[in-house]
């Protein structure tokens, strides 16, 4: 997201100070709270680390970086908790159903409006399903809400063994592998 913690703070504060909830009804109106920011700076964090999501096993170089990061975080006085990948496979399955609920029509129209050719693996993704009924869409939405609640319950149940506090942040790899040749990422 940024190259430094100071940049992350500056960007987050700038976004919140712009009051995005006045422009987007989906944004919860929570302004920058300096007191909470300062409180978090004064205590060790409880950091969840997830090496893979239970679907994609990370390659050795990624695993090595995560192990090195875990050592540095622990040495800095923070508590590390191994995060279980439970619920990830189910969440991904629901997400995939949303991608193709309209048979790929929304993505197809956006690509056509831009006049660009399809990236082959994106075209294959959106062409793999047919539009579903409104009833079926609501069933996906019910499953999404249920898994969101289950994940929230999981988050609130995971505690640091030393502090007994809930996890402050979850760190995960962005990809399971290092860079691959163009058009080969799956």
98 occurs within a structural domain: no
24 inside domain? yes
Containing structural domain, residue 29: 1-42
Taking the C-alpha atoms of residue 32 and residue 37, their distance in angstroms, rounded to an integer, is 8
Does 165 fall in a domain?
no
Q: Identify whether 33 is part of a domain.
A: yes
Q: Note whether residue 177 is domain-resident.
A: no
**What pTM was estimated for this model as a whole?**
0.80
Per-residue pLDDT, 119: 85
In this structure, is residue 6 part of a structural domain? yes
pLDDT confidence of residue 43: 93
pLDDT of residue 134: 96
Local confidence band at 1 (pLDDT 50, 70, 90 cut-offs)? confident
Tens digits of per-residue pLDDT, 126-177? 888 899 999 999 999 999 999 999 999 999 999 998 999 999 999 999 888 8
Residue-wise pLDDT tens digits, 5-46: 899 999 999 999 999 999 999 999 999 999 999 998 899 999
Q: Measured between alpha carbons, how far apart are the two ends of the chain, in Å? A: 22
User: In which band, very low, low, confident or very high, does the pLDDT at 186 lie, cut at 50, 70 and 90?
Assistant: low
pLDDT at 45: 95
Cα separation, 78 vs 46, whole angstroms: 6
pLDDT digits (tens, 9 = 90+) for 85-130: 999 999 999 998 988 899 989 988 999 999 999 888 788 878 888 9
Residue 142 lies in a domain: no
Its sign, for the CA torsion 41, 7, 25, 111, is negative
Tell me: pLDDT of 67 over 90. Answer: yes
Query: 129 lies in a domain?
Result: no
pLDDT at position 77, please? 96
Which residues fall within 8 angstroms of residue 53, CB to CB, at 6 or more apart? 85, 88, 89, 92, 172
**Could you give the number of structural domains in the chain?**
1
The neighbour count for residue 114, using CB atoms within 10 Å, is 8
């Amino acid at each position: 997201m940024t190259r430094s913690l100071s940049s992350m703070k500056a960007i987050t504060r700038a976004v919140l100070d712009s009051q995005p909830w006045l422009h987007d009804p989906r944004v919860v109106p929570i302004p920058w709270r300096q007191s909470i920011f300062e409180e978090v700076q004064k205590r060790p964090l409880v950091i969840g680390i997830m090496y893979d999501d239970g679907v994609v096993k990370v390659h050795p170089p990624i695993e090595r970086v995560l192990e090195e990061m875990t050592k540095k975080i622990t040495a800095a006085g923070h508590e590390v908790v191994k995060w279980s990948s439970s619920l990830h496979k189910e969440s991904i399955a629901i997400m995939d159903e949303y991608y193709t609920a309209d048979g790929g029509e929304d993505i197809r129209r956006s690509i056509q409006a831009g006049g660009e050719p399809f990236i082959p693996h994106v075209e294959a993704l959106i062409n793999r399903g047919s539009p579903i009924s409104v009833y079926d869409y609501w069933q996906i939405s019910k499953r999404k809400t249920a898994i969101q609640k289950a994940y929230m319950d999981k988050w609130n149940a995971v505690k640091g063994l030393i502090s007994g506090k809930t996890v402050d942040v979850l760190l995960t790899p962005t990809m399971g592998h290092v860079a691959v040749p163009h058009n080969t990422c799956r």
